[in-house]
Amino acid sequence: MSVDAVIVLAAGAGTRMKSDTPKVLHQVLGTSLVGHVLAAATELAPKQTVVVVGHGREQVVEHLTAIHPSANTVVQEQQNGTGHAVRLAMAAIDAATATSVLVLAGDTPLLTAATLNALVSVHVSAHAAVTVLTAVLPDPSGYGRVVRDTHGHVTGIVEQKDADAAILEIAEINSGVYVFDIAALTQHLAGLSTDNAQGEEYLTDVIGAAVAAGQTVVASVAQDHREILGVNDRRQLAQAAAVMRDRINADHMAAGVTMLDPATTWIAPSVTLAADVVIEPGCQLFGATSIAGGAVIGPHTTLTDTEVGAGAHVRRTEATLAIIGPRADVGPFTYLRAGTVLGANSKAGAYVEIKAADIGDGSKVPHLSYVGDATIGRDTNIGAATVFVNYDGVSKSRTVVGDSVRIGSDTMLVAPVVVGDGAYTAAGSVIYEDVPPGAMGVARARQRNVLDWVLRRRSGTSSAAAAQRAQELSGTQDSTQDSTKEQE
């Protein structure tokens, strides 16, 4: 079901958030509150979308430009109520090409397209002037109540501050989501007043005006009352996130994903998971992350905009804008930065950081290494504590390591440098010149032992005592072998 136009109300200050960030920009699972609302509305294919901004409008407009550039914005300089905000928005809508308008609050991230579709369907079927989305809450405190006549027809909405004791007993509440016939909305917006407890123009007064004019007003009751919950403070933000987490996780598990602890698994709506993926406890998956079948993620792994191939295992890892190939083995305590590409059957092991690097099929960076701005061929092994020295303080250069290379532990590869296919580097080397294919690169000083140094320079220490005992036991106390003893 489509709708002609959408208005999103996002001008409020959100003072209870106690934040410098505008309320609608606070995030749930990696997406702003207003971003979730727009995503649901977009599925109705509106021809026009208008967002009313006010508090922190520069930040909000910048954000909207990034996530929904087709949306128009109008500014509500003074927050004089929802009716006032909609009246401003209507000036930006081309009424000649629209007969209906959907009005949404920008702080209701749990709304689904399915519920909005049902709302619009009810509106169209009833030929209504106004259709309001309602819900029955266990505790309706704080919400406007939906008043019906004895036949169940909607006769009005009374805000909490204006309600008497009888109305406060009503459990059906107004969600703040409506579909209006544009002609009826325009007619009744003109008659709004501020004669109420808050001194504001209530959009809800349009309901009473439409009823008084003999126009049809109907309600669509949300199947899950949690969908309409707004976010006004940090507690409600956390509650909304938990509801969304549980909803998303349930959908993935129904589709064949195993989650060992859904309560500690946080997955953004934009993430795609194939059947037979296993998610272990403590994982967070955001952005355009996609995970192929048979992969095991976690425990305690965060992936953002990362692609994981079939059968890969990624544990205790943070990865952003990375590609992890089929059957790759990653972690624990691994950091994959933007531009990392791990080939099939590759390994990035414990305490490894990789950035802007292609790691070939079957190659391994097992532990304690940094690989930046590099290309590594197939079946190569990078020894422990290797550093790809890619930055000279001004610019970054690239290192190329060929196929079947063995990089010795504690090697420094000073870019730009090429290590040819089948080559080796000796442990502890600083490689700053190309190593030809099949060669051994050695770049280190020859070791010398300064004998008896501890006995002479650290006399009286436990080290000196241990050395003295060892020499006495072996009968090898002799300093004549040290030709450089006095040059130390």
pLDDT of amino acid 259? 98
Which of 130-144, 261-275, 467-481 has the highest mean predicted lDDT (pLDDT)?
A: 261-275
pLDDT of amino acid 79? 85
| Catalytic, out of 123, 252, 313, 367 | 367
> Is position 367 annotated as part of the catalytic site?
yes
pLDDT grade for 477, boundaries at 50, 70 and 90: low
pLDDT of amino acid 488? 42
d(CA 70, CA 267): 27
Amino acid 274 reads A
d(CA 95, CA 84): 18
Token match 């309560």: residue? 263
The closest of 67, 5, 75 to 36, measured between CA atoms, is: 67
Q: Over 50: is that where the pLDDT of 486 sits?
A: no
pLDDT of amino acid 418? 98
Summarize the confidence of residues 256-281 as an average pLDDT: 98
d(CA 6, CA 476): 91
Summarize the confidence of residues 237-251 as an average pLDDT: 97
Q: Going by DSSP bridges, is the β-strand pair 412-414/387-389 parallel, antiparallel, or unpaired?
A: parallel
Percent of the residues in the chain that have a pLDDT greater than 70, as a whole number: 97
**Which tokens is 430 given?**
């600083």
**Which tokens is 59 given?**
């930040």
Q: Over 80: is that where the pLDDT of 261 sits?
A: yes
> pLDDT tens-digit profile of 65-74?
999 999 999 9
Q: Is the peptide bond before 262 cis (omega within 30 degrees of 0)?
A: no
More confident residue, 482 or 154: 154
Sign, CA torsion 144/107/104/131: negative
Kindly list the structural domains of the chain, giving each domain's residue range(s) and its CATH number in brackets, ordered by start: 5-228 (3.90.550.10), 249-441 (2.160.10.10)
pLDDT grade for 198, boundaries at 50, 70 and 90: confident
Instruction: Note if the pTM is more than 0.85.
Output: yes
Q: Over 60: is that where the pLDDT of 483 sits?
A: no
Q: Over 80: is that where the pLDDT of 149 sits?
A: yes
Report the mean per-residue pLDDT for the chain.
Answer: 94
Q: Over 70: is that where the pLDDT of 336 sits?
A: yes
Half-sphere exposure of 42 (CA within 13 A, CB side): 11
Q: Going by DSSP bridges, is the β-strand pair 381-382/399-401 parallel, antiparallel, or unpaired?
A: unpaired
Percent of the residues in the chain that have a pLDDT greater than 90, as a whole number: 88
Q: Over 80: is that where the pLDDT of 481 sits?
A: no
pLDDT grade for 1, boundaries at 50, 70 and 90: confident
The closest of 94, 41, 87 to 67, measured between CA atoms, is: 41
> pLDDT tens-digit profile of 356-393?
999 999 999 999 999 999 999 999 999 999 999 999 99
Residue 190: Cβ-neighbour burial (10 angstroms; 0-12, 13-18, 19+): exposed
DSSP 110: T
Contact yes or no for 316/333 (Cβ under 8 A): yes
pLDDT of amino acid 359? 98
Residue 217 phi/psi, 5° resolution? -125, 125
Q: Over 60: is that where the pLDDT of 145 sits?
A: yes
Q: Over 60: is that where the pLDDT of 479 sits?
A: no
Residue 332: Cβ-neighbour burial (10 angstroms; 0-12, 13-18, 19+): middle
**Residue 379 neighbours by CB distance under 10 Å:** 16
Q: Over 70: is that where the pLDDT of 107 sits?
A: yes
Summarize the confidence of residues 197-212 as an average pLDDT: 90
Summarize the confidence of residues 283-312 as an average pLDDT: 98
